[in-house]
Amino acid sequence: MDVRYPPDTEPGERLPELLERATAMLAKLPRVRSATFPAAEWHRRLDAKGQTVHTLSLRDTEGEVSAEFTRDELALTNYMVVSTAHLYGDLLTIHSHNLRERSLEILAMPEEAF
């Protein structure tokens, strides 16, 4: 699995452990174990209130999705299990949409094309 973490993690933080744990939850999802595992990338930024927000982006050949988490959310195991599964589901929705669009294009072709 190709995973990138933010380089600016503050010393003494539990953050690297929390990010790695959240990524491990994603890797445990049944469909994620396939050879086409999406690339995962973590980013860190300050929101409008000056609070640190961590963004997890998943990307593959079909598309990209992302979700933002606070440090407190990262520490909640059940929340992160559901959130990472939902995020991966969003990527699968893009796959499904793209497959549907390709199928409709094929169905619109004249019979001579086959």
Tell me the pLDDT tens digit for each residue of 55-76. Answer: 999 998 889 999 999 999 999 9
The pLDDT value given to residue 13? 65
Q: Are 80 and 74 in contact (CB under 8 A)?
A: yes
What are the residues whose beta carbons fall under 8 Å from the beta carbon of 71, sequence distance 6 or more? 15, 18, 52, 54
Q: How many percent of the chain have pLDDT more than 90?
A: 47
The pLDDT value given to residue 46? 92
Q: Does the structure show a pLDDT above 90 at 82?
A: yes
CATH code reported for the domain at 3-113: 3.30.160
The pLDDT value given to residue 42? 93
Tell me the pLDDT tens digit for each residue of 21-38. Answer: 888 887 777 665 454 667
